Amino acid sequence: MRKHISVVSVAGILPTEKIIIHPEDHIRNEFSAPDEQKLFRSRILWRLKHKKDLIELMKESLLAAVKQAQMDISDIDYLILSQVWPDNILSDEAGQLARELNLSCPVVSINVGTNGGVAALEIATAMFANSGLHNIAVIAGCNYSHWFSTDDPARCLLSDGAACLILSRKQGVEVTGCHSLSTAHYDILQFNEAPERYVFYKEKGGEYIFNNLKETIYQCCSKVCQSNGINLNEVSAFYIYDPTEWVVSSAVESLGVGKDKVISIFHKYGSLGPAQSFFGFMEIQNNKNLVDYDWVIVMGFGPSSTATAVLFRWQNIPYGIYCYDHKTQLSSLKLSSRMTENI
């Protein structure tokens, strides 16, 4: 891992429409734990009116992250875009972003499912071997609530949103190591082309995730620690992609760490796909027990693609979470634990 490559800014953008799922409104779905009892916590889902509007959230996340870092858009040398899912085979969202913002840097799209944000971060970090690159932006976007049939119970887990993270040679949250592994054995997704285009999960797909995710979490996180000469107990905070309620308890059990070390954000955002890990990264900023240079792990997970764990040396950096619509433009919410602790 090339040293002194750091995250210097991160911004998340959510649509203004909110849906609150109360425990009594919860519907069992493909990803419900086998022994799941009544839920005791409400959650918020964030929804775009139209699938195509995600491009605006992705654009605004980039502009907000650049502004927070006190940069100009022209300072970005390379942009990596990860979206679940592109709306056409050309993935023209990348081209549209470049045209609307008059970007002169390369814009590259990747698609590794819900691990896309963290996988793109790993790719971006490796690209700094090119001495001509100084600032790389990574955008992760999600509109996959619009890719599921309206009668699919799994939709009660899904949100829409985008986040942008900027990597730089400047001082910030240093990326010290990454480890990815294949999740191809999680063969759970299917696509229906006609009469309506939508994605659905194979029968017992959720059960397979429930039975195998602990081992994936352990292997991914322990190996990134081993390659950097530390053990799991030396890590002060973990964010493990949590697209449903039970992931945190599984992570605690698989990692063998205290529950207070594993961050949960599902109740605030539902599942934001590849953007979720960046929102988890921002949530770590609310952890008052962290001090500079603490070890932190953020892990993404994409069934049928990859899982990636990233090891950081922590520092506080500029971040913000905002709501956006076409009429009001950006509205600074800076969602903190205080805003949603009673929801």
Residues 163 and 66 in one domain: yes
Contact indicator for 9, 65 with CB cutoff of 8 Å: yes
When pLDDT is averaged across residues 198-221 and rounded to a whole number, the result is: 90
Residues 93 and 213 in one domain: no
145-182 pLDDT, tens per residue?
A: 988 888 888 899 999 999 999 999 999 999 999 999 99
Residue 90's pLDDT is 58
Does residue 301 have a pLDDT over 50? Answer: yes
User: Mean pLDDT of all residues in the chain?
Assistant: 89
Residue 234's pLDDT is 98
Q: Is 142 among the domain residues?
A: yes
Does residue 3 have a pLDDT over 70? Answer: no
Q: Is 1 among the domain residues?
A: no
Sequence-ordered list of residues with C-beta below 8 angstroms from that of 296, at least 6 positions apart, any chain: 173, 235, 236, 237, 238, 239, 284, 290, 311, 312, 313, 314
Residue 185's pLDDT is 93
pLDDT-derived band at 194 (thresholds 50, 70, 90) equals low
When pLDDT is averaged across residues 302-319 and rounded to a whole number, the result is: 95
Residues 181 and 165 in one domain: no
Residues 35 and 115 in one domain: yes
What range defines the domain where residue 48 resides?
Answer: 6-173+317-340
328-338 pLDDT, tens per residue?
A: 666 555 543 32
Residues 305 and 332 in one domain: no
Q: Is 275 among the domain residues?
A: yes
Number of domains in the chain: 2
Residues 160 and 220 in one domain: no
Alpha helix segments (H runs only) across 128-233: 205-226
Residues 224 and 326 in one domain: no
Nearest to 110 by CA among 136, 84, 134: 84
Residue 335's pLDDT is 44
Q: Is 325 among the domain residues?
A: yes
Q: Record the pTM.
A: 0.92
The CA angle 199-203-208, to the nearest 5 degrees, is 100
Residues 163 and 308 in one domain: no
Spell out where 111-170 has E strands: 135-142, 161-168
Place of tokens 């001495």: 131
Bridge-based pairing of strands 161-168 and 235-240 is: unpaired
Q: Is 17 among the domain residues?
A: yes
* DSSP string over 253-272: HHHT--GGGEE--HHHH-B-
Taking the C-alpha atoms of residue 297 and residue 314, their distance in angstroms, rounded to an integer, is 10
Residues 162 and 179 in one domain: no
232-265 pLDDT, tens per residue?
A: 999 999 999 999 999 999 999 999 999 999 999 9
Q: Is 13 among the domain residues?
A: yes
Taking the C-alpha atoms of residue 238 and residue 255, their distance in angstroms, rounded to an integer, is 10
Bridge-based pairing of strands 235-240 and 295-301 is: parallel
Does residue 123 have a pLDDT over 90? Answer: yes
pLDDT-derived band at 87 (thresholds 50, 70, 90) equals low
When pLDDT is averaged across residues 302-308 and rounded to a whole number, the result is: 93
Residues 182 and 196 in one domain: yes
Q: Is 166 among the domain residues?
A: yes
Residues 196 and 78 in one domain: no
Residues 168 and 182 in one domain: no
CATH of the domain at 242: 3.40.47.10
